[in-house]
Amino acid sequence: MSRIAVIGAGWAGIAAAVSATAAGHPVVLFEATHAVGGRARAVAGQLPDGTPLTLDNGQHILIGAYSETLRLLQQVGVDPKTALLRLPLTLRFPDGSGLRFPRWPAPLNALGAIAGARGWRWADKWALLRLAERWRRQGFACDVNASVTRLCQGLSPRVLSDLIEPLCVSALNTPARDASAQVFLRVMQDALFGGAGTSNLLLPRCDLSALFPTAGARYLLARGAQLRLAARVNTVVPQGPHWQVDGESFDAVIVATSASAAARLLSRSAASADAATAQAMLRCCVVTQALRFEAITTVYAWHPSARLSSPMLALRSDATFPAQFVFDRARLGGPPGLLAFVVSASQADRATLQTQVLRQASAQLGLNLQPVQTIVEKHATFACTPRLQRPAQRIAPALLACGDYVAGPYPATLEGAVRSGVAAVAALDFSSP
């Protein structure tokens, strides 16, 4: 067995460490902060009356197509049926318009949702059905240069605003006019045509740390892996067939930090590496540093009597009212009256967004809410644009990168991060010199 260092204890790093440990490899997991979870973790907060509560640093959702995430949850001892609220895919607005997928087999559920969409004309529905059938016939492939807006030419403004834009911004965190049509189609294929339950929404009933990172850490410690918190790695340098992680020898290294942290680490390490390895490290840095990132803002707000008609609602968003979704946290294990508003691809400053969202809640939900906490994750995801070049997983022999930004079929999602971590372990080749 080979000794493996995993650097970064976010979802990708935990997935890599769990996979390597399950394969029998001794693992040391390094994390620069005092907590596991990365950009999908619990944070402390309090209600306006001072009552302490646990929030998340962003309101994440999963879907039934997230097969690797669901598998790993079970592997580390989390029961998805208990930890996740499973609902048919629903994109309903406060006025009742929009879509709700019936509990039918795919693709009949998609057909039923489109046929039963409230507020749509039959011409709108028929145009979408024709387009979806064309996607299926073409194998969910398209021009790699196409944006989602171009992909959906011919659909009515109502279908674009009620379905395409919400799906695109929730899956890719990139506006449809800028988003990669090819990646969008991959997500649609897996979600809508991937089999029973793949289109379901899976909403966490517990905080994000408890959902996977904390359970993953327990799994690792119980099986002899080491978890080193507050342990920032400064250099990763080759020495013969091994790698020195701040002077400690390993057979392989998996860099599972954020994109910016990975670029800094590789840039520092290249100065002490041989010419070929240094060139490979710097090549990875160039591609990584060229990525453009999108922010996600989550506005938590509260009123003791606030309650939504369902756990999640879509919202009409524009430059004045920026939130695309709102979640009733009371239905997900949180305190009564706590709502979470999500602003994907957010651009304004924290104070402006909070003010706009509170006004949006009043105008669209009829609720006068008090702010609880507004969290802006400035580098939440990479901008998922057409022909985007993402860094390769393999940097050098026995040196790999994983994370939601690394090359792969999925956008920057929890599933993308988990799949990348699992794939990094599978890609290790200890026969290379």
- Confidence at residue 313, expressed as pLDDT on a 0 to 100 scale: 97
Rounded distance, CA 172 to CA 124, Å?
24
Q: What is the DSSP code (8-state) at residue 369?
A: P
CB 374 within 8 A of CB 298: yes
* 286 backbone dihedrals φ, ψ, rounded to 5°: -60, -45
Residues sharing a CB contact under 8 Å with residue 282, sequence separation 6 or more, in sequence order: 266, 267, 270
Q: Which domains, ranges and CATH numbers included, belong to the chain?
A: 4-37+212-291+389-427 (3.50.50.60), 42-82+202-207+293-382 (3.90.660.10), 89-197 (no CATH)
Would you tell me the crossing angle of helices 181-192 and 122-137 to the nearest 10 degrees? 100
- Confidence at residue 325, expressed as pLDDT on a 0 to 100 scale: 97
For residue 192, give the 3-state DSSP assignment: helix
- 354: enclosing H helix or E strand: helix 350-360
Enter the pTM of the model: 0.94
Q: What is the DSSP code (8-state) at residue 164?
A: I
pLDDT digits (tens, 9 = 90+) for 68-91: 999 999 999 999 999 999 999 999
Side-by-side strand order, sheet with 248-250: 236-239, 242-245, 248-250
Rounded distance, CA 20 to CA 421, Å?
10
DSSP for 319-342 reads: SSS---EEEEGGGGTS-TTEEEEE
- Confidence at residue 432, expressed as pLDDT on a 0 to 100 scale: 43
Write out residues in the chain with pLDDT < 70, as ranges: 430-433
CB 244 within 8 A of CB 46: no
Rounded distance, CA 106 to CA 108, Å?
5
Rounded distance, CA 281 to CA 360, Å?
46
CB 46 within 8 A of CB 55: no
CB 201 within 8 A of CB 356: no
For residue 110, give the 3-state DSSP assignment: helix
Residues sharing a CB contact under 8 Å with residue 118, sequence separation 6 or more, in sequence order: 92, 96, 97, 98, 99
Q: What is the DSSP code (8-state) at residue 309?
A: S
- Confidence at residue 194, expressed as pLDDT on a 0 to 100 scale: 75
Rounded distance, CA 89 to CA 109, Å?
9
CB 12 within 8 A of CB 421: yes
pLDDT digits (tens, 9 = 90+) for 223-278: 999 999 999 999 999 999 999 999 999 999 999 999 999 999 999 999 999 999 99
- Confidence at residue 430, expressed as pLDDT on a 0 to 100 scale: 59
